[in-house]
Structure formats: structure tokens, C-alpha cells
């Protein structure tokens, strides 16, 4: 796989999982509203995909020895991976009871992080367990903090 595609997919996938799960957990504990969660996911898929792809674009462009083709491959791959992976989290919310959809989405997100972390470990010839634990732990921390913030917002402003 080309380096530009690894950059775009790695960033887009990870950002889609962390941002979407964090948003979902905050909205779930803060509002319990299915419509708010679906709206949030769609918003993340669009706005954050553009934001992240522009961020990658500028970051890659700022490197001294990067050609335009590489920059645009990173940009487009980041956008598409962020957009598509973020939207996958809406599917369970549309078709399942909200509590079950939250559990399914957490399992889905952790599965994707685990698989991509394993892929990274094979490329780098490193211990997959260490990399998987590191990445899943960060995702878990984001979920817990977002959930607690949602509870706080609910108890403070509702």
C-alpha cells in the first residue's frame, strides 16, 4: 500500500472511531436522544472529514520534500476514510434500540482499532499486543471521559 494511502486511512479511520464514539457517548449520556446522535454522526462524517482532510493536506504540504500527488492522495484518502467509517456508526443507531446500538458501536470501533493496530504492528514488526493495548486504551479513555461530560452537561443544564 502506498504511503499516502496508509497516512490517509490511518488518520481517517482512527479519527472517525475516536471522534464518533466520543460524540455518541457524550450525546447518549447527555441527552439519550437517538435523533441527536444520528445528527451528530452525520455532522461528524461531513464537517470533521473536511476538517481532518484539510489538516492532513496542510501538514503534508508543509513537508519540504512532498510532491503534490502525495499531498492530494493523503487528502482524499483521509476524507473518504473518515466520512465512510464515521457513517458506519449511524447504521446500528438507525436499526437498533439505542442502548444496544451503543454497545454494538463500541464493539465495532474497538474491532476496527484492534485490526488496524495489528496491521501497523505487522508493518513495523513490533509486538501487536502492546500496540493494540495502547490504542484501545486511548479509545476507552475518550469514551469514558465523553460519557462523564455528557452526564455532567445533563445534570447541569437539563
Instruction: Tell me the C-alpha to C-alpha distance, in Å, between residue 64 and each of 60, 68, 75, 140.
Output: 9, 11, 17, 36
Q: For the chain, how are helix, strand and coil distributed in percent, rounded to 5?
A: 90, 0, 10
41 Cα distance to chain centroid: 11
Q: For residue 61, is pLDDT > 80?
A: yes
Domain boundaries, the chain: 3-157
Contacts from 55-58 at CB under 8 Å and sequence distance 24+?
56/7, 56/8, 56/11
Instruction: Kindly state the cell numbers that stand for 125.
Output: 514488526
Residues 145-150 have a mean pLDDT of 98
CA distance 105 to 89: 6
In percent, how much of the chain has pLDDT > 70? 100
Q: For residue 158, is pLDDT > 80?
A: no
Residues 84-108 have a mean pLDDT of 98
Confidence band for 66, pLDDT divided at 50, 70 and 90: confident
CA distance 158 to 135: 34
Confidence band for 27, pLDDT divided at 50, 70 and 90: very high
Q: What is the pLDDT of residue 106?
A: 98
Amino acid at each position: 500500500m502506498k504511503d499516502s494511502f496508509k497516512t490517509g486511512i490511518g488518520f481517517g479511520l482512527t479519527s472517525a472511531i475516536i471522534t464518533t464514539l466520543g460524540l455518541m457517548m457524550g450525546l447518549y449520556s447527555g441527552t439519550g436522544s437517538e435523533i441527536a446522535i444520528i445528527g451528530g454522526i452525520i455532522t461528524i462524517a461531513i464537517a470533521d472529514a473536511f476538517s481532518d482532510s484539510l489538516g492532513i493536506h496542510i501538514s503534508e504540504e508543509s513537508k519540504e520534500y512532498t510532491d503534490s500527488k502525495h499531498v492530494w492522495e493523503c487528502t482524499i484518502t483521509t476524507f473518504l476514510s473518515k466520512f465512510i467509517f464515521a457513517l458506519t456508526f449511524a447504521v446500528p443507531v438507525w436499526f437498533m434500540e439505542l442502548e444496544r446500538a451503543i454497545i454494538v458501536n463500541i464493539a465495532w470501533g474497538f474491532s476496527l482499532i484492534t485490526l488496524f493496530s495489528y496491521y501497523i504492528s505487522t508493518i513495523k514488526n513490533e509486538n501487536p499486543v502492546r500496540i493494540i493495548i495502547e490504542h484501545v486504551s486511548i479509545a476507552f479513555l475518550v469514551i469514558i471521559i465523553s460519557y462523564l461530560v455528557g452526564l455532567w452537561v445533563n445534570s447541569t443544564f437539563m
